[in-house]
Amino acid sequence: MFSKRNLTEATYVSYTKIKQETCSNLNNSEPTFQDCQKQEIGDSYLNFTNLTSQLTTGKPKEKAVLVTLYLQNMEKAVLAAAVRNTEERQSVEGPFMDIETRRVKKCSLIKTFKLKAGKQTMDILCTTIQKESLGGAVAFISYASIGSIINESFVSEENLMTKEKLHNFYLNSKVVSGTMGSRKNTSLSMSINFTFQHEKIKRENEQPLCVYWQGSSWSNEGCQVISSDENQTVCSCSHLSSFAILVATTKLKVDPVLTMITYVGLSLSLLCLFLAALTFLLCRPIQNTSTSLHLQLSICLFLAHLLFLTGINQTKPKVLCSIIAGMLHYLYLASFTWMLFEGLQLFLTVRNLRVANYISAGKFKRRFIYPFGYGIPAVIVAVSAGVGHSNYGTHTHCWLSFHGKFIWSFMGPVFVIALINLSFYLTTLYILKDQLSSLNNEVSRMHNTRMLTFKAIAQLFILGCSWSIGFFLVEGVLDPIRSIVAYSFTIINVLQGIYIYLVYCLLNHKVREEYRNWFKKMKKRTETNNYDLFGSVTHTRMSFKAKPGISSSLLLRTFRKAGGN
């Protein structure tokens, strides 16, 4: 092991040459792949790790040269061992690197080899190996910690070909090397595919780049991204070298029209939900179990929309953002739970069955409806927070993380409730259809049934069935269909509060009658107040005029009495 603090490139080159000579002259015998791996690769890597650990204060250029020399010598050693070995396939796993090699003698035109080193893979055509390789061998190496040395500090935007401005680069994979010995950094007849597993989950506003080590910096020339998700990226490159995945942050594309629709629609919904909640609380003629369900749904949606408008973008501090995300998760789940009760209520009502037959007693309602309505969402949020609390809040919004499967802690219950309510809704329409067909021509009954049908259709949005549109907003859907779905989803759902106020308040004749009574009382009270105010002013004026008269009479009587004396 080297003991000096500052080591030159010449020292390192001399060291690797000695190791190569030692490996190739092991008692004049045929060394096995494992022998060379243990002596040349493992020992060399240990010394290189010690070397780079002593260069933490060294210049980046010196580090780049040392890493380049190391990678080149490592590829040569591994490939040489593979060529000398008689076995077709060799694989070695170690704490510092993972290696797989293949030797090809005969192959078909379409045969593809998949080499795997650790969790990374390389796909290469058999014919490419025969034409381009040295001795019909190919090697694939995955390094454990080289990426921490030649990291994002070696990124130069001049060497990156991108369509948009990128920033905040970082390596998000292991560094791998693919080599066939004779065609390094030159174009191959057929491209080679690499599959990289991400070190960190790729976020929504991050763009992956397939890059190779150019000697002093990373470059993406000759490489392109085939596919990418939050866990892995597939690259296609026209040459062999040392590769990695470089991730950069991009600016989220926000549709200003869609944003305006969201904020205006939610603001209108907040107003309507507030009026609806006041109506359900103060309008006594309509207060029953159904009204209680409407009230709870209105309150939950009001609080959820209000918190969404005021807190969705409060990403700092992180703790506050996580709390907001958790509260939004709970409030929207509670809203959907009450939508489920609304669906059950509608179904039973249309069947001419009073919900009171099942849940009319106050004790039953308190014991079951409220604990279920607010308890089930609390359990879901508690379990979700316990399993993945770090998924509450991101650097772009205070909502659940879209990476992995965590978003299904919200989408799962929403999907189930929307499906159940949709079945209630379709059954309701079927029952109403039978009722309409059996009706006589009596106008009043026909009118009432048609109004009930209209309300049942409007319930499609109130019951949250329209949220199922959001499941079509997947990455596979492209514009213009994606834009149409996004606008439809936003417009329909942000106006849910308006639907509630329209159906449960404005289209309810009892509520309209109560509104008339309120307006009459308010008008009468206003008129009374105006009359009292006018009467008070008139009385004051009359009193003010009477006082001078009394004073004059007393004055005259005084003078008369004085003159008589």
Do 306 and 331 touch, CB atoms closer than 8 A? no
- Residue 543 in domain: no
Three-state SS at 170: strand
Phi, psi of 194 (to 5 degrees): -120, 140
Do 284 and 237 lie in a common domain?
Answer: no
Q: Is the dihedral of CA 383, 386, 388, 390 positive or negative?
A: positive
Do 16 and 60 lie in a common domain?
Answer: yes
Q: How many domains does the chain have?
A: 2
- State CA 195 to chain mean position distance: 24
Q: DSSP secondary structure string, 231-285?
A: SEEEEEESSBSEEEEEEEE-PPP--HHHHHHHHHHHHHHHHHHHHHHHHHHH-GG
Do 369 and 427 lie in a common domain?
Answer: yes
State the CB neighbour count (10 A cutoff) for residue 537: 10
Strands 89-93 and 232-237: unpaired
Do 441 and 479 lie in a common domain?
Answer: yes
- State CA 299 to chain mean position distance: 26
Do 415 and 341 touch, CB atoms closer than 8 A? no
- Residue 549 in domain: no
Do 493 and 432 lie in a common domain?
Answer: yes
d(CA 321, CA 239): 45
d(CA 8, CA 296): 74
- Helices in 473-508 by DSSP H: which ranges? 481-494, 496-501
Domain-terminating residue out of 218, 249, 280 = 249
Mean pLDDT by runs of 10 across the 565 residues of the chain is: 34 41 40 49 51 57 83 86 81 88 77 90 86 79 88 82 75 92 66 93 84 89 90 92 89 80 93 95 84 93 95 90 95 95 82 49 61 94 92 86 82 93 86 63 54 70 82 62 83 88 88 86 72 52 44 36 40
- Residue 535 in domain: no
Where in the sequence is the domain holding 345, given as residue range(s)?
A: 257-516
pLDDT at residue 111, rounded to an integer:
79
Do 214 and 325 lie in a common domain?
Answer: no
Phi, psi of 323 (to 5 degrees): -65, -45
d(CA 273, CA 280): 10
User: One-letter amino acid identity for 272?
Assistant: C
- Residue 560 in domain: no
pLDDT at residue 50, rounded to an integer:
54
Do 201 and 316 lie in a common domain?
Answer: no
Do 397 and 363 lie in a common domain?
Answer: yes
- Residue 277 in domain: yes
d(CA 120, CA 97): 11
Do 211 and 294 lie in a common domain?
Answer: no
Write the CATH number for 237: 2.60.220.50
State the CB neighbour count (10 A cutoff) for residue 217: 18
d(CA 360, CA 369): 11
Three-state SS at 101: strand
Tokens for 535, please give them: 């009467």
d(CA 178, CA 380): 47
pLDDT at residue 340, rounded to an integer:
93
Domain-terminating residue out of 497, 516, 535 = 516
Phi, psi of 139 (to 5 degrees): -130, 145
pLDDT at residue 381, rounded to an integer:
96
- State CA 495 to chain mean position distance: 22
Tokens for 167, please give them: 């920033």
Do 336 and 398 lie in a common domain?
Answer: yes
- Residue 298 in domain: yes
Do 478 and 405 lie in a common domain?
Answer: yes
Write the CATH number for 333: 1.20.1070.10
Q: Give the count of alpha carbons within 13 A of 72, CB side only.
A: 17
Do 245 and 289 lie in a common domain?
Answer: no
Tell me the CA distances in angstroms from 219 to 70, 211, 242, 355, one per residue in order.
Answer: 19, 5, 11, 68
